[in-house]
Amino acid sequence: MISRRRLLVATMLMTMSGSALPQEVQDFSETINMFRQIPQVAPYFDTSYGYAVWRTIGRGGIGIGGATGLGQVYVNGQVTGFSRLVDVSIGFQLGGQAYRQIIFFENQAAYEDFTGGNFEFDAQASAVAVTASAQASSGTQGSTATAGASGSGQAVAAGGYQYGMRIFTIATGGLMYQATIAGQSYNFRPVGQ
């Protein structure tokens, strides 16, 4: 039974990941402004080289799960390209969830690592889950663990960057036991290609 579910989820995610990335820049300002209003996140907009943002990532699973979402990558407030997130996971998980995510790049090297092809976070990666209310109050609901990009050997740096990146998420709906970014892979296509 588990192999049948694994095949179904893998087929579904491969189909979604094969979908074309957007051809035109979309308005992500609502999501970006939501992150800007959170005190723990706001300083990264001023100090990072750039960022990638997803206004909706859908995740679901029963034992075997997956997630996908379309995002845009920014440098100096301008969209430089598009990214698709895909994740297939096996293990104890149950439910469905929608969330927003932002990844800040500490420097040009981290940006180039992310945009240089297919990028994947390793099994130890996690994000800081923040909340945002109508009054823009926030708090952490999670904490960072030792995290890293595949092939990296760097620890948490000053400013909270892990391996040159800092990841925050905001849950927008659903309930799921398991909400890590480990194993997420991202592809990138520059604007105009």
pTM, two decimals, is 0.74
The residue whose two tokens read 């420097």 is 107
188: confidence class by pLDDT, cuts 50, 70, 90 = very high
**What pLDDT is recorded for position 73?**
98
Type and span of the H or E element at 42:
helix 42-47
Cα–Cα distance list, 53 to 3, 38, 44, 84, 95 (Å):
33, 15, 13, 10, 24
Burial of 4 (0-12, 13-18, 19+ CB in 10 A): exposed
**What pLDDT is recorded for position 175?**
67
**In total, how many domains does the chain have?**
1
The mean pLDDT value of the chain amounts to 75
Q: How do residues 56-113 score in pLDDT, each as one tens digit?
A: 998 887 777 788 899 999 999 999 999 999 887 776 667 788 899 999 999 999 999 9
Residue 153: closest CA among 164, 167, 166: 164
Q: How do residues 3-35 score in pLDDT, each as one tens digit?
A: 455 444 444 544 444 455 667 899 999 999 999
Dihedral of the alpha carbons of 58, 15, 75, 167, in degrees to the nearest 10: 40
Residue 167: domain span: 2-190
130: confidence class by pLDDT, cuts 50, 70, 90 = confident
* Dihedral sign for Cα atoms in the order 129, 114, 152, 42: negative
**Close Cβ partners of 39 (under 8 Å, ≥ 6 residues apart):** 138
Q: How do residues 40-52 score in pLDDT, each as one tens digit?
A: 999 999 999 999 9
